Each structure stands twice: as C-alpha cells, then as structure tokens.
Amino acid sequence: MKKKPNPQGKGLSPILTGLAYVQPRRQIPAKHIQQISNELFTSLFVLSARFDFRPVRGKSYWLYEKESKFRLFTIAPTHWSGKAPGRYIGECILQDDMTWTIDLDESLSEASWFNELLEQERQKVNISLQQSSTLEDAMPVYLDKLPYYRRLLAYGLGLSLKTSMEKAGIKQLAYKEAATLLMYDKKCE
C-alpha cells in the first residue's frame, strides 16, 4: 500500500493563509483608468524587484539598484552600518488595497538612465493594457515567473484593481474604451 504523503492536507494551510493575507483590508473605491494604469505600473515595478520576505502593509521598505537589478530591503539608506547594497531608488509602501507606492529619491528626477528605464517599463504596461481584450484580462492573476511572495502580492494587486474597475463599470471594457470614457467624463465636468 502506498503512503499518502500529506493525509491531513496541511500543505494547503500556508497557501490559504497567503491568499487570505492578500485580500484588500479596506473598502476599495472605484478608480478611473489612469489611476488603475498608474497603480498597476508602480506596483508591478516594485514587484519586479527581488525580495525574500513577506511585506507588511503600511510599513516602509527601501528600493535599491545595482548593475540594473532592483532589490527591496527592510533597511533605510541611513541605517546601513557599511555600504548600501546599491544606488538608493526610493521608499516603497504596500497599501491596504494591495497596491504599492514609491517615494522616489529626489536625485533621480534628473537621472536620464532612470527616466528612460521608467519610460520603457511604463510602455510595457501600456502595451499589455492596450493588447488585452478587456481591462480585467490585463490584471495579474498568476505570474509563475515570480517567487512566492511576489506572486502572491501580484495576485492581491489584481484582485484589488479588478474590484476598483468593477465599481467604476470599466472592468469588461477595453483600455481604449475606458480611456474614451474618462475623456468624456472630463469634458462633462
């Protein structure tokens, strides 16, 4: 008789705990397409950085760059006992709605290498949004190229943004339709 390797199903427990963790903790408002696009871009940019810990909502983390690779750390630039692990990029915070914010270092405003990189990354997100048949289809669900915590956070981000789009009535629209709707709403104001 072959033994069952996990008869109590304990392997599901960490996964279910992780899925519960990424559920947005506050009421998610309706958001227009420009805000959705910006939050998607910023959050995916942070999630592309390497980190091996589970971020806590509302806590600050610091993004560094070295040799064109980004890493997220729990240590601020002023708290390194030795040399920092790279060029300081900015302070990142995971919000209650599972989106990320970045407060970029002021020195980067004139750094052409960084502005070019941001523009390239933003174009990737815009192309993905424009090529998807609906906005919902462009949201992250399961990004297998990411390690566990980043994959889990990307899933939570997708849930949050889908909820915002549903409340705004744009979830099933194509990107261009949602952008046109936003332009119409601005003209009516």
Residue at 176 is within a domain: yes
C-alpha distances in Å from residue 87, one per residue of 31, 74, 111: 33, 15, 12
Q: What is the pLDDT of residue 148?
A: 84
**Number of domains the chain contains:** 1
Q: What is the pLDDT of residue 181?
A: 75
Q: What is the pLDDT of residue 144?
A: 78
Q: Give the helix/strand (H/E) hosting 90.
A: strand 87-94
Residue at 64 is within a domain: yes
Which pTM value belongs to this model?
0.84
Whole domain around residue 94: which residue ranges?
A: 29-111+133-188
Residue at 68 is within a domain: yes
Alpha-carbon distance of 144 to 150, in angstroms, equals 10
Q: Give the helix/strand (H/E) hosting 130.
A: helix 112-131
Q: What is the pLDDT of residue 187?
A: 46
Residue at 116 is within a domain: no
Which residue stretches of the chain have pLDDT < 50? 8, 186-189
Residue at 62 is within a domain: yes
Residue at 37 is within a domain: yes
Which tens digits make up the pLDDT trace of 162-186?
Answer: 999 999 999 999 999 988 876 555 4
Alpha-carbon distance of 158 to 150, in angstroms, equals 12
Q: What is the pLDDT of residue 179?
A: 87
Residue at 95 is within a domain: yes
Closest CA to 139 of 111, 124, 160, 122: 160
Q: What is the pLDDT of residue 140?
A: 87
Residue at 144 is within a domain: yes
